[in-house]
């Protein structure tokens, strides 16, 4: 069963909107899914789809980024692709080997402002989702809390300030 199918099953509700599963059952299902993913990864190593000398999670960040961007060639605008590449290249400079723990990702995000951290997290999360599915890397972002930021209210002139600006104009052009 794929992760997205499992998540649908875990969060399934009956016709009255009541959860089918307790929190303990959900956790057990997630652990079984992780165990399945590990067994699947081992099988891929045995049949030669993954190199045997590649320990779990030991992959170059640049290599993971390249594979991720190739997988996203269709369906994204050029601007989005450039933005993803720029964000992820900074991450690759910080971590040449793709981090496998949430603490490492949190350390990286802590170096950013709230807004930048939130933007970087979104792209890094996509990278880890891809790397987890395709490359057998543990998804460190599943345990990282998404950074939040508060939008600043746009500054508006008060009526007195607007009147003084208009009064300072010498002609219609100004």
Residue ranges and CATH numbers for the domains of the chain are 1-53 (no CATH), 56-174 (1.10.150.130)
Choose among 144, 137, 128, 143: nearest CA to 65: 128
pLDDT of residue 1: 61
pLDDT of residue 4: 64
Choose among 111, 2, 120, 134: nearest CA to 63: 134
Taking CA atoms, 104 is separated from 36, 84, 88, 109, 171, in Å, by: 25, 20, 15, 9, 59
Q: What distance in Å separates the CA atoms of residue 27 and residue 10, rounded to the nearest whole number? A: 9
- β-pair partners for 13: 19
Directed axis angle between helix 61-71 and helix 78-94, to 10°?
A: 170
Choose among 96, 94, 97: nearest CA to 108: 94
**CB within 8 A of 89, min separation 6: which ones?**
65
Q: What distance in Å separates the CA atoms of residue 83 and residue 18, rounded to the nearest whole number? A: 41
| pLDDT tens-digit profile, the chain (174 residues) | 666 677 677 777 766 767 777 878 878 887 887 788 778 777 877 776 655 544 444 688 999 999 999 888 887 888 998 999 999 999 999 888 898 889 999 999 998 888 888 899 999 999 999 998 988 888 989 999 888 877 667 788 889 998 998 899 888 887
């Amino acid at each position: 069963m794929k992760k997205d199918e499992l998540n649908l099953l875990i969060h399934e509700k009956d016709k009255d909107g009541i959860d089918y599963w307790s929190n303990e059952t959900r956790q057990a299902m997630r652990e079984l899914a992780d165990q399945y993913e590990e067994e699947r990864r081992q099988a891929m190593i045995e049949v030669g789809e993954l190199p045997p000398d590649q320990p779990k999670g030991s992959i170059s960040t640049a290599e993971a980024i390249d594979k991720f961007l190739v997988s996203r060639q269709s369906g994204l605008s050029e601007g989005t692709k450039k933005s993803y590449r720029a964000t992820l290249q900074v991450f690759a400079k910080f971590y040449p080997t793709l981090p496998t723990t949430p603490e490492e990702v949190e350390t990286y995000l802590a170096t950013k402002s709230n807004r930048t951290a939130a933007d970087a997290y979104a792209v890094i999360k996509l990278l880890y989702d891809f790397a987890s599915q395709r490359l057998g890397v543990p998804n460190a972002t599943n345990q990282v809390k998404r950074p939040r930021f508060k939008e600043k209210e746009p500054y508006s002139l008060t009526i007195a300030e607007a009147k003084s600006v208009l009064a300072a104009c010498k002609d219609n052009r100004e």
